Structure 1
Amino acid sequence: MNAAANAPLGILIFTIGGLAGAVFYLPFKKVRNWAWESYWLIYALAGLVVIPWALALTTSPNMLAVLGAAPKNEILYCFLCGAAWGLGGLTWGLMIRYLGVGLGLAMGAGLTSAAGTLIPPLLKGGDAVSAMVSTASGQVALASALISILGIVFVGLAGMSKEGELSEEEKKKSVAEFNFKKGLMVALFSGLMSSAMSFGLQGGPDIQALALATAPATSATWAGMPVLVVVLGGGFVVNALWCLYLNVKNKTAGDYVKKGAPVGSNLIFAGIAGLIWCSQFICFKTGEPQMGATSYIGWAVLMGASIFFSQILGILLGEWKGTSKKTVVRLGAGLALLAVSAVLAGVGPALG
């Protein structure tokens, strides 16, 4: 393990990122008289371009030189992973619309967690897989990821129980367009495609090595920023093209100067959503260096924390009101398993 690693600090950073992922959607509730594509474009511009580039240029003084010297195939890989995430991210809001904040984020983030945690080490093969299965720290980290996935399953079971217990009228009191079947299909697509974000963020080792070695060198904490802007750039292209297409198709391009709409506050709240959303992946890349050889577990912690906090938020918003004791027990078990997973993730690296 890196001598400077500090696993508890890494877990805390990932957890803060998970909180950001759970609440980023809330500022959209303050947007008025704009079509979805209009405020989503502002969110994407802020969260995928303006904020990450501003942060990267501030913290990584050699970023432009690094991107110029980095292997083109690695940059393309990271960019395409971001584009794949963009396809999944476009349907993230639709998933929440059909399932609600609590259940929607649980299912989407759950699938993203499973694929994004276990597949990258398998793609690397060799030493990465060996460290994951043959060392004490790797085994505990792997157990943490599996327990996180089990916790997600319990939350999903709670959602299925909720589907069977509540009348359509009761479901739609908290989620106006609740539709479990549509939401499940969207969640499958969105969750699996969104896991490509993990592949991209962990797929730029040469870029990060250049950030550390090229003068003036970037510190280890911020060495992931050049990778982050490339991945998010891929996501922005997909989101922007789709939103602009809808602006033309739905004749909503005038929203940005629309009379009778609070244009200024809409820009602010959509931008804040982008800032909050981007924060989770900034936390992921800055928390990684603290985890040493078990940095891959960060994705499970990030997604697990996002699910945990989204359920708390869902409870506060009344999305689980009126459900049975069985459903509540399943939900509680899922949240408890997610908490245990985070603890194990912090303990694993200390085993060496």
Structure 2
Amino acid sequence: MSAPNSLLGTLLHAVGGISAASCYLPSTKTKGWSWNTYWLAQSIFAWLVMPMLLAWLTVPNFFSIIAEAPSKPFWMAFFLGGIYGFGGMSFGKAINHIGYSLTYTIAIGISAVVGTIMPLMVFGGLGNFFTKPGGGIVLFGMLLSIAGVVICGWAGFKKEKDINAEKLKSAGFNMMLGLVLSIIAGVLSGVFNLSLEFGQPIADMAAENGAGHFEGNAKLVVSTLGCFVVNFIWYIVVGFKQKTIQEFLPKNKNVTTQEPKSNLLRNWLLSSLTGMLWCLQFFFYGLGHVKMGEFQFASWVLHMSMLIFFSYIVGVIMKEWKNVKKETYAILLVGLFVLIVSFCVTSYGSY
């Protein structure tokens, strides 16, 4: 196994950030599918097919490792992954209501704090961490992160006032609902990091079997499987209740609500692309985490900062802030800057 390299680790986290920030862009190109149908389709790839495929390709004797995995780490990782499943739903819906920039900024800003503190609370060491050298700096960085989230939320409310209310309403913009969903998504995203921490013994088994830097792919499968089960059951029920499940069927002459085969193929390909991009973020997260060496504690915060930075770029490309006042845009930039500073401060304190 090659030596740790924090610079390479940071670059790998950046690649993961790009993948995560762009993973929901394909949803804008689907045709004839409701959000429920699209979300169900992408969940099959994001949380089942891709994690299984990556683990099978990179972890020797993967299925034997899963079969022999200790019971508590397996089921805790699965259960917490299932809880995160509700966070994934909230995240997807929040994008519909307040757009990419705000959803990623608010949800991921909260996730950076929760995902860092929660494992320390569960596995111990929270009090000692904040009292040892650098602990005060980390605490200050987390407070800055909360301040950044508040400022970005303020920018969102100002955006709601700047742009014609009827236009925003027709586009589905709802700042209050989007804010609530983003907060839920951020907290439960932190739970996903806890799920990965509980699954670490499974990753250790993979390392002992020669997985090397790909050891994290073994535990990722367990966490995403819990997420998939929750989303699959939820959206199957919703699909039958709202009669959107028939959107998976090809259109025929007598059923106007079903889609042409060409659209179906296109939608499935776009859904698979979403799933691939979502899964690849944690593939590169795992590689970056291992490469960080003794700075592994900073991995989650670093990964989250990359997510926010690149999601903002996506938001600009999507022209989400094109018609807002300069004052509102300035507030958003200040909030984004505060968040980036907070991640830098937290990473420095961890060091």
Report the TM-score, using the length of structure 1 for normalisation: 0.88
For 1:146-185, list aligned pairs within 5 A.
Answer: 146-169=143-166, 171=168, 176-185=171-180
In 2, distance between residues paired with 1:286 and 1:112? 20
Is the Cα–Cα contact under 8 Å of residues 148 and 304 in structure 1 kept in the other structure?
A: no
For 1:1-352, list aligned pairs within 5 A.
Answer: 4-126=3-125, 130=128, 133-136=131-134, 145-169=142-166, 171=168, 176-213=171-208, 216-219=209-212, 221-259=213-251, 260-261=259-260, 262-341=263-342, 343=344
Percentage of matched positions with identical amino acids: 32
In 1, distance between residues paired with 2:109 and 2:85? 17
Closer, same or farther: CA 283–133 of 1 in aligned 2, 3 Å: farther
Is the Cα–Cα contact under 8 Å of residues 298 and 347 in structure 2 kept in the other structure?
A: no
Structure 1 residue 294 displacement after superposition: 3.4
Closer, same or farther: CA 37–171 of 1 in aligned 2, 3 Å: closer
In 2, distance between residues paired with 1:116 and 1:346? 14
Is the Cα–Cα contact under 8 Å of residues 302 and 347 in structure 2 kept in the other structure?
A: no
Structure 1 residue 48 displacement after superposition: 0.8
Closer, same or farther: CA 184–152 of 1 in aligned 2, 3 Å: closer
Closer, same or farther: CA 106–339 of 1 in aligned 2, 3 Å: closer
Amino acid at match of 2:22: V
1:79-103 superposed Cα distances (whole Å, 9 cap, x missing partner): 0111001011112221111111111
In 1, distance between residues paired with 2:338 and 2:62? 39
Structure 1 residue 190 displacement after superposition: 2.4
Closer, same or farther: CA 15–7 of 1 in aligned 2, 3 Å: same
In 1, distance between residues paired with 2:167 and 2:238? 32
1:144-202 superposed Cα distances (whole Å, 9 cap, x missing partner): 55544443333223223323433314545xx8011112222222222222321111112
In 1, distance between residues paired with 2:180 and 2:124? 31
Closer, same or farther: CA 157–103 of 1 in aligned 2, 3 Å: same
1:259-307 superposed Cα distances (whole Å, 9 cap, x missing partner): 1431111110011011111111222222111223432322222222222
Is the Cα–Cα contact under 8 Å of residues 118 and 191 in structure 2 kept in the other structure?
A: no
Amino acid at match of 1:130: N
Is the Cα–Cα contact under 8 Å of residues 148 and 336 in structure 2 kept in the other structure?
A: yes
Structure 1 residue 239 displacement after superposition: 0.8
Is the Cα–Cα contact under 8 Å of residues 110 and 152 in structure 1 kept in the other structure?
A: yes
Report the TM-score, using the length of structure 2 for normalisation: 0.88
Instruction: Using the TM superposition, name which of 176-185 and 203-212 deviates more.
Output: 203-212
Amino acid at match of 2:163: L
Closer, same or farther: CA 292–140 of 1 in aligned 2, 3 Å: farther
In 1, distance between residues paired with 2:147 and 2:298? 15
Is the Cα–Cα contact under 8 Å of residues 30 and 266 in structure 2 kept in the other structure?
A: yes
In 2, distance between residues paired with 1:90 and 1:83? 11
Amino acid at match of 1:154: I
Instruction: Using the TM superposition, name which of 90-99 and 182-191 deviates more.
Output: 182-191
Instruction: Using the TM superposition, name which of 163-172 and 46-55 deviates more.
Output: 163-172
Instruction: Using the TM superposition, name which of 54-63 and 9-18 deviates more.
Output: 9-18
In 1, distance between residues paired with 2:214 and 2:48? 17
For the aligned residue pairs, the C-alpha RMSD in angstroms reads 2.5
Closer, same or farther: CA 146–17 of 1 in aligned 2, 3 Å: farther
